[in-house]
Structure 1
Amino acid sequence: MSRAVVPVLLACAAGCGGGEATPPPRAAVTRPARPPKAQHDRAHAEPSDAEDDETSAWRPGRFMTQAVGRVTGAAQRFEKQSSFGFDEDASCVLGAFLENGREVSVTRPLRAGVRYVILGGGSDGVEDLDLAVESPEGKIVAADTMDDAQPVVELTPKAEGKYRIRLGNAKKGEGGGFGVVAIMREGGLSIPVNRFVESFGRTLSNAAQASHLVARRMKGSQGLAFHADGEWSFFGTILAEEENIQTGGLELEAPLSVILAGADRLADDVNLEVLDATTNEIAGRDEADDAAPVVALEPTKGHKYKVSVANVKARGTSLVTMLVLDLDVP
């Protein structure tokens, strides 16, 4: 791979402005009153009304947009009908590409005695998603394994700790699609739909432009695609000014990986840093004075990476989104 592509990609982006696994066990369903089904209108299903033709033409972005829009739209309608809001203790919206028969998971903190609702959903073609939550001891405490693509679970943890949320694509055979979860809790924060549009739309637009640049400059490449390999590729997090979040354990094994972040209009400066956790060396960093950082790197096969996103300067608590992309080679 030509190393000249990396600085070109960085300049462009700056100017732009799961392994094989068993689906969650078929445990008893724990289900709250189901939020209204996601409407497929543009306000919710496509949180990027202002996106340009280049963004619209980027196929991975279209399908991720469907999944993110449907789940966040359902979450916001549920929020209006209840005392629930988005959980700010860790990433509250996560997305991943799931081949049929595979799953992805995340371990995150949950508070004791607090009611949580976790909503799932997918892009077109995703027919059966399963959702499960495991306690710190590895016991399933809530699950929805019904034969549909809109799983919902409710739980009230008895003890504070790190709980594992598992999202599985239960459909058999070839194929796959994007799956998304939203984590909500009683007394959580309200996020207006326009802030999702701003944050996700801006990040997605930069990702699409970076993908088209790579496709033009790298012979034999189809651009960039969302990171898969049984790991999450989309993260949405509520961050106050000077607050940061770290995502570890990523195996970035493609010849080229690109990580981008973006935020809503309340954030003025967002920084991004990628650490090679195997060598404890900085693999890439973007500390420019803007809210659209990007890091491009050539990862070492077998190494683990940790990504840190910081809301350095803002005029209020912001919704920060991050995408992890890999080189798409047929």
Structure 2
Amino acid sequence: MRPLSRLQKLTRWTAPLALAGLVAGSGCTKQKVMVLVADNHPTINLFGFEESELHHINNTVELHRNVFLVAYDPKKPNTMEWINCPVPAEYKYHAAPGRRVETIHISNEAELQAKVPVNYARFQGYLKAGNAVDFHYVTIGAYELMGAFKIPKGDPDCAKATHYVSTLSVGAFVFAEQVSVEGGIAGQETTTGVGAGLDASRKKASGTSTGDLDSCLDENQAFFDCFTPLQLMMTPIPERNWVDGHETQVVRVEESDGSGYTGPSREQVQQQQQQREAAGVASVDLSLGVDAEVWRPGSFMAHALEQVLLVAQRVNESSNYGFDDKASTVVAGYLRNGQSHSLNRPLEAGAKYAVFATGATDTANLDIIITGPSGQEVAVDQADDNNPAVSFQAPEDGGYQIRLVLTGGSDEFGAMVIMREGGLRIDTDILQGAFQSLLDNATAASSKVIEMGFGSGLVFHENDWALSGTVLYPGETIRQRGLQLDPQSAVFTGVAHDPNMNIDLEIIDANSGASEADTAPDANPLVLIDKPDPNSSYDMRLMYPDSGNGEPALATALILKLGE
């Protein structure tokens, strides 16, 4: 029998993930979430943390797959410091055995300081006014640290770490103030997400980053809006986890400075992967590396795709939804304010679908609108956020239009994914590898164009989706019709997830029938259209010739143009 290949990671889902319970880092059954542990494994509730801090926690564990390190003194429970020491580790997600809304009621400052030690000062004012506070929450699951990790002794930042996070619980929560009135306490003013200081409408608008209780109780929505960090359990770092500095090289990923996404360079991503291999860590860093100084447009596209990878990973771990292999399942593009990109594709009557989108920044407002074959509105998410998501059951067979609309904020890169119940599972390391290869090819092409004397290099096609991805079976072709190209020369490039596969690419002028194609036997076809006719339209055919091995291919394509 032929050896197993990576492609066999693409397997059809038949049943949802079901686990008996959550396991803590000590190996014992996990205590009920929100109960503080009174030993050398301190547990911290994350109510009141800034949204950016919660985002950082998620990125460390989910995106970069690094161990989460902190400096914490149990004698000073009101202070804790995140440590910037990227060391590879593997966190495994466990679904909670059941979901229900729990409540922590706090009526005095002593209770507050005991149950919300780090950020109790944020809520102290409510209690001094004679009010009480409630934290309503739902825990959907937890990430548990698996295996060993190595921390370099010689790094000054790493040296400050005292504990590592062994378990991170995720879900959603609501902060509710019980207002003091004559004769007692009555009424509530609720604020979802990160806690006090922000009005309810703003919390609602922040979507996935703060969580939504109703979504936690809905199997089809939980992986969109129910992964806010709720609580972390810390373990003192044992001596065996410290190694000499030369044994482990810390690879630091730059964060955004507020002006936009910077992202890791390709070299940083490669170094991080090498470090993982040296440490024996199987998990993959899901970040995508495009050096903003080399190709700035690509760095923004990378960030939009990173967020798609995060949600796809959550879907893998918490539902029986998979990628829809009937047509394009991943698309991405550049959106201008008030502009939409549409995807027309077939859906099956009675099948359950989930569609979600992400932006490159946190400032834009993206909406999803889906209409059916008869023109009826089937599903919509027009909340004021940058990560819309819908789930629905298709009422009839036929062609549906799925629109991603930018309705507020600056111009934005957006990525969208279509999944279906019982669909195809594609491990996120395969997605990461395919997207990274595609962006690498585009970065190299842009640099080559600059070397040839075209100063601004390549930018993304803007009139439609610039990126598309689908699962093709041997002998299949996917066709994107009606592309309106600008007069600048256009570059089309494709990538198969496995470099040993062969995919072909053809571009056809719909008016004249003239075509250009790359049918060489490789996984990276490239076609150049010199000075396209803006009065014509073009079709792009991405083909997977029958190779005889019967394995499907994750095929991606990208449309670029010369910068002005």
TM-score normalised by structure 1 residue count: 0.82
For residues 300 and 268 of structure 1, the distance between their equivalents in structure 2, rounded to whole angstroms, comes to 33
For residues 292 and 54 of structure 1, the distance between their equivalents in structure 2, rounded to whole angstroms, comes to 21
- Other structure's SS at 1:269 match: coil
Match of residue 293 from structure 1: 525
1:39-118 mapped onto 2 (5 Å cutoff): 49-50=269-270, 57-118=294-355
For residues 47 and 319 of structure 1, the distance between their equivalents in structure 2, rounded to whole angstroms, comes to 24
- Other structure's SS at 1:57 match: coil
Going from structure 1 to structure 2, the CA distance change for 1:241 and 1:154 (only over 3 Å counts) comes to same
- AA of the residue aligned to 1:246: R
Match of residue 29 from structure 2: none
CA contact (8 A) 1:116 1:185 kept: yes
Q: Which has the larger radius of gyration?
A: 2
Out of 345, 348, 372, the residue aligned to residue 135 of structure 1 is: 372
Alignment deviations for residues 2-23 of structure 1 (CA, whole Å, 9 cap, x no partner): xxxxxxxxxxxxxxxxxxxxxx
Does residue 210 of structure 1 match 2:445? yes
For residues 382 and 311 of structure 2, the distance between their equivalents in structure 1, rounded to whole angstroms, comes to 19
Does residue 194 of structure 1 match 2:429? yes
For residues 289 and 159 of structure 1, the distance between their equivalents in structure 2, rounded to whole angstroms, comes to 40
Going from structure 1 to structure 2, the CA distance change for 1:119 and 1:138 (only over 3 Å counts) comes to same
Larger relative CO (CA 8 A, sep 6+): 1 or 2? 1
For residues 186 and 52 of structure 1, the distance between their equivalents in structure 2, rounded to whole angstroms, comes to 31
Q: CA deviation at 1:213?
A: 1.1
Going from structure 1 to structure 2, the CA distance change for 1:100 and 1:262 (only over 3 Å counts) comes to same
Q: CA deviation at 1:152?
A: 0.6
For residues 92 and 126 of structure 1, the distance between their equivalents in structure 2, rounded to whole angstroms, comes to 25
Match of residue 325 from structure 1: 560
For residues 161 and 89 of structure 1, the distance between their equivalents in structure 2, rounded to whole angstroms, comes to 12
Going from structure 1 to structure 2, the CA distance change for 1:53 and 1:139 (only over 3 Å counts) comes to closer
Alignment deviations for residues 160-197 of structure 1 (CA, whole Å, 9 cap, x no partner): 1000000011105xx31111110000010000111112
Deviating more after overlay: 138-147 vs 49-58: 49-58
Does residue 35 of structure 1 match 2:223? yes
Aligned length: 292
CA contact (8 A) 2:309 2:432 kept: no
Match of residue 472 from structure 2: 239
- AA of the residue aligned to 2:436: G
CA contact (8 A) 1:47 1:196 kept: no
Alignment deviations for residues 191-224 of structure 1 (CA, whole Å, 9 cap, x no partner): 01111122111111111111111122134x3010
For residues 343 and 265 of structure 2, the distance between their equivalents in structure 1, rounded to whole angstroms, comes to 24
Going from structure 1 to structure 2, the CA distance change for 1:227 and 1:131 (only over 3 Å counts) comes to same
For residues 53 and 80 of structure 1, the distance between their equivalents in structure 2, rounded to whole angstroms, comes to 27
For residues 436 and 337 of structure 2, the distance between their equivalents in structure 1, rounded to whole angstroms, comes to 27
Does residue 161 of structure 1 match 2:398? yes
Q: CA deviation at 1:236?
A: 1.0
Identical aligned residues as a percent: 32
Match of residue 306 from structure 1: 539
Match of residue 259 from structure 1: 492
Structure 1 portions without partners, runs of 5+: 1-29
Going from structure 1 to structure 2, the CA distance change for 1:55 and 1:199 (only over 3 Å counts) comes to farther
Going from structure 1 to structure 2, the CA distance change for 1:110 and 1:267 (only over 3 Å counts) comes to farther
Out of 219, 225, 233, the residue aligned to residue 459 of structure 2 is: 225
- AA of the residue aligned to 1:227: H
- AA of the residue aligned to 1:264: H
- Other structure's SS at 1:288 match: coil
Q: CA deviation at 1:242?
A: 2.1
- After superposing on structure 2, the runs of 4+ consecutive aligned residues of structure 1 that deviate more than 6 Å are 45-48, 51-56
- AA of the residue aligned to 2:294: A
Does residue 280 of structure 1 match 2:517? no
Q: CA deviation at 1:317?
A: 1.3
Q: CA deviation at 1:301?
A: 1.6
Q: CA deviation at 1:264?
A: 1.1
- AA of the residue aligned to 2:461: H
Going from structure 1 to structure 2, the CA distance change for 1:150 and 1:53 (only over 3 Å counts) comes to closer
Going from structure 1 to structure 2, the CA distance change for 1:321 and 1:126 (only over 3 Å counts) comes to farther
- Other structure's SS at 1:280 match: coil
For residues 275 and 168 of structure 1, the distance between their equivalents in structure 2, rounded to whole angstroms, comes to 28
Structure 2 portions without partners, runs of 5+: 1-214, 229-251, 254-262, 271-287
The RMSD of aligned alpha carbons is: 2.5
CA contact (8 A) 2:333 2:413 kept: yes
Alignment deviations for residues 80-113 of structure 1 (CA, whole Å, 9 cap, x no partner): 2111100000010000101122111110000110
Q: CA deviation at 1:254?
A: 3.1
For residues 200 and 158 of structure 1, the distance between their equivalents in structure 2, rounded to whole angstroms, comes to 33
Q: CA deviation at 1:54?
A: 6.3
- AA of the residue aligned to 1:33: Q
Match of residue 238 from structure 2: none
Match of residue 12 from structure 1: none
For residues 290 and 372 of structure 2, the distance between their equivalents in structure 1, rounded to whole angstroms, comes to 45
For residues 314 and 67 of structure 1, the distance between their equivalents in structure 2, rounded to whole angstroms, comes to 35
For residues 291 and 394 of structure 2, the distance between their equivalents in structure 1, rounded to whole angstroms, comes to 44
For residues 117 and 47 of structure 1, the distance between their equivalents in structure 2, rounded to whole angstroms, comes to 32
